[in-house]
Amino acid sequence: MAIAALSSGITGLNASERALGNSAHAIANIGTQGFQPTQAVFKENAPAGSGVSISFQAQQLQAADAPSATDLATETTNSLVYKAQFDLSAKVIQAADQNIGTLINTKA
């Protein structure tokens, strides 16, 4: 059980980190003409409780001379959500680590 929680927390950390990087990329390109940001899509791995995966969904292309399609308010909000996800995943890992340590101390 503790190992599964540890794995779930690690996949959560990885997915949150990738999503935050995607938002940072969009914000960095806010002044780039024709830039079209991608959207992070989270999906629960099977079987349930075994973690989360992330994919990126491209949006419809626009003209090269059009302004960037990055919405700063959306990307800022998403960044805060991804940070919270990262923090919660870290807490899952800490709890799993404590449980594993307790199990090791009990068995020893």
What is the domain partition of the chain in residue ranges? 2-60+73-107
Residue 108 pLDDT more than 60? no
Q: Does residue 37 carry a pLDDT above 70? A: yes
User: Can you give the pLDDT at residue 105?
Assistant: 66
Q: Is the model more confident about 50 or about 6?
A: 6
pLDDT range class, residue 103, cuts 50, 70, 90 = low
* For residues 61-70, average pLDDT: 78
CA distances from 27 to 74, 100, 104 (A): 10, 40, 45
Q: Which one has a higher pLDDT value, 106 or 101?
A: 101
Name every residue whose Cβ is closer than 8 Å to that of residue 65 and which is 6 or more positions away in sequence: 33, 34
